[in-house]
């Protein structure tokens, strides 16, 4: 089947078609024509609308699924459907389930159960056994089985020696560590950002310097060992300054920011809504401004959804008992796109397309004739309501439930497979 995209504006920095309005014809999964105007064929699907935009397929560097072990929260199929609806043609899956991705059989399970789907799925093996930060996993075996990198998800390294050894080992096999930064001796028991709002609410806070101290230590270890290190998500102005300094020293470090931390501040928790209970926590408007500036200047490399599904029993509790995290695959980019003018989209698009793939050292699609189609079509002038009917996750722990967005993902094309909202 063919798909014809009519009068779409290409947002793809580096492409000869960047910022041009064109027609794009996809036949048998390949881009066969790119012209100012292509006549509609008798068969096939035509996608058209006012002020449609197209980029190479979006990639989310941080998602989790319940499968295997917690299928009542999310299955791999529901994860893929949510990702496709959210505009992603590729996702990296961290271990936040049981059993953890410690063994090659878990990596092989993820790969075999997501093969030939509309969204490409890349599993990340754990750095340490059961993400406890002590004994290293069999990283080489995990890599040989298809792990594209290693992560202990939201479990920050307490043991500096363990991270030191892990970086050395990963460097030897030319792989990547992805780490969360949080000194739990400083943030232990914290429910939200430590500041005026937490004081007003009487909730124990998670100070920004808990993230920053742990980040500074990890960067110092990287400087000593060499290798590659990705910081999953930073949330404060101080962390931005540390990453900027590390990059000026030419350390091989990249970092991400959660879409939540780009658009929401800690005042969102004034009603004690546990759907806003996140890790890293929502911080201040000053931090949001610093994060956006860092994204636009390239200090921050990628934007992530930080999709973390939880069932009602995990979130509909007293605030201090509720789990951290929210679903966000279908709402991450609509929430961020609302904050951007069309003329300023280039850096954001790179942060969700080319940069995540560079981090994982995987193939980067191109919008060129004879290339396999890997595209996301979206609009900043179409609205949708994220309600329970639209939500494709098995969990509905979203701070955006019943919110209407003014930006919308129209659909994705990934080779011969496609999905349209």
Helix H, strand E, coil C: the string for the chain is CEEEEEEEEECCCCCCCCCCEEEEEEECCEEEEEECCCCCCCCCEEECCCCEEEEECEEEEEEECCCCCCCCCCCHHHHHHHHHHCCEEEEEEECCCCCCCCCHHHHHHHHHHCCCCCCEEEECECCEHHHCCCCECCHHHHHHHCCCCEECCCCCCCCHHHHHHHHHHHHHCCCCEEECCCCHHHHCCCCEECCHHHHHHCCCEECHHHHHHHHHHHHHHHHHHCCCEEECCCCCHHHHHHHHHHHHCCCCEEEEEEHHHHHCCHHHHHHCCHHHCCCCCCCCHHHHHHHHHHHHHCCCCEEECCECCCCHHHHCCCHHHCCCCECCCCCHHHHHHCCCCHHHCHHHHHHHCHHHHHHHCCCCCCCCCCCECEEEEEECCCCEEECCCCCCCCCCCCCCCCEEECCEEEEEEECCEEEEC
- The token pair at 2 is 């063919």
The residues that bridge with 412 in the sheet, in sequence order, are 376, 419
Helix 237-248 crosses helix 208-225 at what angle (to 10 degrees)?
10
Tokens, residue 122: 């890349």
Phi, psi values for residue 67, rounded to 5°: -90, 130
For residue 107, the tally of other CB atoms under 10 A from its CB is 23
Specify whether 301 is catalytic.
no
Question: Do the Cβ atoms of 357 and 363 come closer than 8 Å?
Answer: yes
Residues in contact with 166: Cβ distance below 8 Å, sequence separation at least 6, in sequence order:
127, 128, 136, 139, 150, 177
Question: What is the Cα–Cα distance from 86 to 305, expressed in whole angstroms?
Answer: 10
Catalytic hit among 120, 183, 301, 306: 306
By annotation, the residues acting in catalysis are 306
């Amino acid at each position: 089947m063919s798909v014809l995209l009519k009068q779409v504006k290409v947002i793809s920095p580096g492409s000869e078609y960047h910022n041009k309005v064109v027609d794009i014809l996809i036949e048998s999964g390949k881009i066969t024509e790119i012209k100012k105007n292509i006549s509609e064929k008798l068969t096939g699907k035509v996608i058209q609308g006012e002020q449609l935009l197209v980029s190479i397929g979006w990639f989310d560097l941080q998602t989790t699924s319940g499968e295997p072990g917690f299928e009542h929260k999310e299955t791999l199929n529901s994860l893929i459907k949510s990702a496709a609806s959210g505009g992603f043609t590729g996702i990296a899956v961290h271990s936040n389930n049981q059993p953890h991705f410690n063994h090659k059989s878990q990596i092989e399970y993820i790969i075999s159960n997501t093969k030939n789907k509309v969204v490409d799925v890349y599993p990340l093996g754990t750095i340490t056994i059961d993400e406890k930060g002590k004994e290293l996993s069999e990283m080489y075996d995990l890599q040989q089985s298809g792990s594209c990198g290693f992560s202990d998800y939201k479990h920050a390294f307490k043991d500096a020696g363990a991270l030191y050894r892990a970086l050395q080992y990963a460097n030897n096999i030319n792989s990547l560590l992805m780490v969360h930064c949080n000194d739990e001796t400083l943030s232990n028991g914290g429910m939200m950002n430590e500041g005026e709002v937490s004081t007003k609410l009487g909730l124990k806070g998670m100070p920004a310097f808990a993230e920053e101290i742990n980040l500074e230590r990890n960067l110092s270890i990287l400087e000593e060992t060499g290798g590659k290190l990705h910081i999953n998500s930073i949330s404060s102005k101080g962390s931005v300054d540390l990453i900027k300094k590390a990059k000026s020293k030419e350390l091989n470090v990249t970092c991400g920011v959660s879409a939540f931390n780009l658009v929401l501040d800690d005042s969102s928790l004034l009603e004690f809504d546990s759907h806003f209970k996140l890790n890293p926590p929502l911080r201040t408007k000053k931090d949001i401004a610093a994060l956006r500036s860092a994204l636009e200047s390239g200090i921050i490399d990628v934007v992530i959804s930080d999709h973390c599904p939880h069932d009602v029993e995990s979130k509909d509790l007293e605030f201090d008992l509720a789990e951290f995290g929210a679903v966000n695959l279908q709402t991450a980019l609509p929430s961020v796109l609302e904050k951007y003018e069309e003329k300023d989209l280039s850096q954001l698009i790179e942060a969700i397309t080319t940069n995540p793939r560079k981090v994982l050292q995987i193939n980067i699609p191109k919008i060129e004739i004879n290339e396999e189609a890997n595209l996301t079509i979206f609009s900043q002038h179409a609205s949708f309501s994220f309600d329970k009917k639209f939500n494709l996750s098995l969990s509905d722990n979203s701070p955006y439930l019943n919110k209407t967005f003014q930006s919308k993902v129209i659909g994705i094309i990934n080779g011969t497979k496609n999905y349209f909202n």
